[in-house]
């Protein structure tokens, strides 16, 4: 899909304008002849600008503008940072349904939204809504139509178009690898994807495999990985575009390409969804791809521990005591609590190797997170107020919602073990998301750190709120969020 800007619309198959609720005008549409104006007015009356409603007014065949699309955005006081994004997504899906080659959206005037954020929302919404995971289907989705945004041209607008396209493409990349089935996406596949993007975008990429993992002390990654014939990998990507001696930001993402639970086997129902247990790692990959394409003047490191958690004769077991990269020992009481083991290794490695300014990790870590916050809000647990505040500010802008959970000494005490430095589960089902975070906190000595549990939001589940730009499957949650955070540093 190609995107361009024009000052005014001359010729198009579909000219789209936004409409506020209970208004009689579409925002920014040009003047038409009397007959057309009457039809448009009738359509406006029918739809009343109701949020998400779409009406199409066909024009005469001779007209260079073949159809008008009116898209309701609801009441002005109810507009959010997401409205233009998901309504644009709906428009784009309609344009594809009509099998159009191109369509145009009139950017609403600045009293609705500042033009920069409007343009980025239109681009993110349309691009993300048009993504479809059809790799394994004979019947392919119609090709995506090209988009023209009608707005007065300026260098600022041209720049935001490019940026928004890269951000949307990063999210789509994350979705497209996160959606891959576990037989087609092993830790080695993820390592190969990483090498490919690194090569294309001039990043440094290193992969640590067995037996080096074990030799170097990555006891968590080795233990979880040992039950699968698909060998574990630790993927490290470096984008070095900041001042030479500036400390980097480290991003860590859990990539369990399939989580059966291991010897503590999961129940069968919905186990297939555990192909999405690699979403944290995929988020980090999407961010690194975008960061390198944007050439952000920062030093950023992406670390992705990747394993397959399988039961078998070689698997780690409940009762095992393993030594993590930090040097601390962990008693395994449930092999299904594997995410914290591989993340702990990656977090300690990130801190020791890079002395970063901050570490942020993403993980589909706990089912408890879905119980606590549902499927539309992620949890953030952190040791640093300032870092949390910044990420929460970005979350307001990108509308990827997060909510902070506490982490005090009482929670740290809940993972104390009788026989090792800690155990890999808490006490019963109490505060499962926080006790998992407590385990991670032990991996970090002094660096500001934020952990984002995306178990509920990384893919669409039963209770997921429907959004045009999040079709069924992986959502790419966190890519836009962290790109916003990084761009504001
Ligand atoms: N990958 C799961 C967490 C998960 C479950 C994410 C469902 C999304 C949906 C994780 O590895 C896990 O199984 N965690 C256990 C931890 C428990 C054994 C302490 C859980 O949440 O039940
Ligand atoms: Zn698990
Ligand atoms: Zn898991």
Q: pLDDT digit string (tens) for 182-206? A: 999 999 999 999 999 999 999 999 9
> Structure tokens of 117?
């954020």
Q: Which ligand is nearest to the CA of 334?
A: 1
Whether the pLDDT of residue 150 is over 90: the answer is: yes
Ligand minimally distant from the alpha carbon of residue 367:
1
Ligand 3 (ion): which residues have CB within 5 A?
A: 256, 259, 277, 339
CA-CA distance, 190 to 212, in Å (whole number)? 18
Summarize the confidence of residues 156-170 as an average pLDDT.
97
The helix or strand, by DSSP H or E, that contains position 423, with its residue range, turns out to be strand 422-423
Residue 113 has pLDDT above 90, yes or no: no
What's the pLDDT tens digit per position in 211-222? 999 999 999 999
Closest ligand 1 atom number to CA of residue 259: 1
pLDDT digits (tens, 9 = 90+) for 253-289: 999 999 999 999 999 999 999 999 999 999 999 999 9
Cα(194)–Cα(31) distance, integer angstroms: 51
Tell how far CA 9 is from the center of its chain: 34
Distance 383 CA to ligand 3 centre (A): 23
Tell me the pLDDT tens digit for each residue of 354-395.
Answer: 999 999 999 999 999 999 999 999 999 999 999 999 999 999
Check if 455 has its Cβ closer than 6 Å to any atom of ligand 1: yes
In sequence order, which residues have a C-beta less than 8 Å from that of residue 411 and are 6 or more positions away? 426, 431, 434, 435, 437, 438
Taking the chain, what is the end-to-end CA distance rounded to the nearest angstrom?
30
Contact between 119 and 81 (Cβ < 8 Å): no
Cβ contact 419:395 at 8 Å = no
Tokens describing residue 331: 């008693």
The ligand 1 atom at the shortest distance from the C-alpha of residue 277 is: 1
Query: What is the per-residue burial (b if ≥16 Cβ within 10 Å, else e) of 43-61?
Result: bbeeeebebebbbebebee
Domains of the chain: 3-147 (3.40.220.10), 172-487 (3.40.630.10)
14-26 average pLDDT score: 93
Using one digit for the tens of pLDDT, what is the confidence trace for 387-405? 999 999 999 999 999 999 9
Three-state DSSP at 181 gives coil
Most informative mutation of 336, 372, 439, 474 for ligand 1 (most atoms within 8 A of CB): 336
Is the pLDDT at 291 greater than 90, yes or no?
Answer: yes
Nearest CA to ligand 1 atom 22: 367
Q: Is there a contact between 264 and 335 (Cβ–Cβ < 8 Å)?
A: yes
pLDDT on residue 183: 98
Torsion on CA atoms 370, 373, 374, 375, rounded to nearest 10: -90
- Give the dihedral of Cα atoms 115, 119, 120, 125; nearest 10 deg: 130
Q: Give the bridge partners for 106, in sequence order.
A: 150
Closest atom of ligand 1 to CA, residue 309: 11
Q: Where are the beta strands (DSSP E) in 77-141?
A: 102-106
Using a 6 Å cutoff on CB, does residue 339 contact ligand 1?
A: yes
> Which positions are annotated as active-site residues?
266, 340
- Per-residue pLDDT for 25 more than 90? no
Determine if ligand 1 sits within 6 Å of the CB of residue 308: no
Residue 446: which residues within 8 A CB-CB, separation 6 or more? Answer: 351
């Amino acid at each position: 899909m190609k995107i361009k800007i024009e000052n005014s619309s001359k010729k198009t198959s579909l000219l789209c304008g936004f409409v506020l609720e209970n208004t009689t005008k579409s925002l920014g549409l040009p003047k038409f002849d009397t007959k057309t104006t009457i039809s448009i007015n009738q359509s406006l009356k029918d739809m009343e600008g109701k949020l998400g409603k779409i009406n199409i007014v066909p024009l005469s065949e001779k007209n260079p503008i073949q159809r008008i699309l009116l898209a309701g955005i609801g009441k002005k006081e109810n507009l959010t940072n997401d409205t233009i994004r998901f309504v644009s997504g709906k428009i784009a899906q309609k344009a594809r349904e009509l099998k159009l080659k191109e369509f145009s959206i009139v950017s609403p005037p600045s009293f609705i939204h500042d033009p920069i954020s409007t343009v980025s929302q239109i681009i993110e919404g349309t691009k993300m809504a048009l993504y479809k995971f059809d790799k394994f289907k004979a019947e392919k989705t119609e090709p995506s139509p090209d988009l023209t945004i009608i707005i007065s041209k300026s260098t600022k607008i041209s720049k935001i178009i490019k940026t928004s396209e890269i951000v949307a493409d990063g999210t789509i990349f994350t979705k497209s690898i996160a959606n891959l089935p576990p037989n087609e996406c092993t830790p080695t596949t993820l390592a190969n994807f990483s090498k490919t993007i690194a090569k294309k975008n001039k990043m440094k990429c290193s992969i640590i495999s067995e037996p080096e993992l074990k030799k170097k002390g990555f006891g968590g990654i080795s233990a979880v990985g040992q039950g699968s014939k698909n060998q574990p990998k630790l993927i490290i990507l470096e984008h070095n575009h900041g001042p030479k001696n500036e400390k980097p930001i480290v991003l860590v993402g859990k990539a369990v390409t399939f989580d059966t639970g291991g010897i503590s086997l999961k129940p069968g129902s919905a186990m297939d969804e555990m192909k999405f247990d690699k979403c944290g790692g995929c988020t980090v990959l999407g961010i690194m791809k975008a960061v390198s394409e944007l050439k952000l003047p920062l030093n950023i490191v992406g670390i992705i521990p990747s394993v397959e958690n399988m039961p078998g004769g070689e698997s780690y077991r409940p009762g095992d005591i393993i030594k993590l990269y930090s040097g601390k020992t962990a008693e395994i009481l449930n092999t299904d609590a594997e995410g914290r083991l591989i993340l702990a290794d990656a977090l300690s490695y990130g801190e020791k190797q890079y002395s970063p300014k901050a570490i942020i990790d993403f993980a589909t870590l706990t089912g408890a997170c879905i119980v606590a916050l549902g499927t539309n809000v992620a949890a953030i647990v952190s040791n640093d107020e300032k870092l949390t505040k910044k990420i929460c500010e970005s979350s307001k802008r990108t509308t990827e919602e997060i909510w902070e959970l506490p982490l005090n000494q009482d929670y740290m005490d809940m993972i104390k073990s009788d026989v090792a430095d800690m155990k890999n589960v808490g006490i019963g089902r109490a505060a499962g998301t926080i006790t998992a975070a407590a385990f991670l906190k032990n991996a970090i000595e002094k660096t500001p750190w934020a952990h984002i549990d995306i178990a509920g939001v990384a893919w669409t589940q039963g209770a997921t709120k429907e959004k045009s730009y999040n079709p069924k499957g992986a959502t790419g949650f966190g890519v836009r969020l962290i790109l916003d955070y990084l761009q504001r540093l």
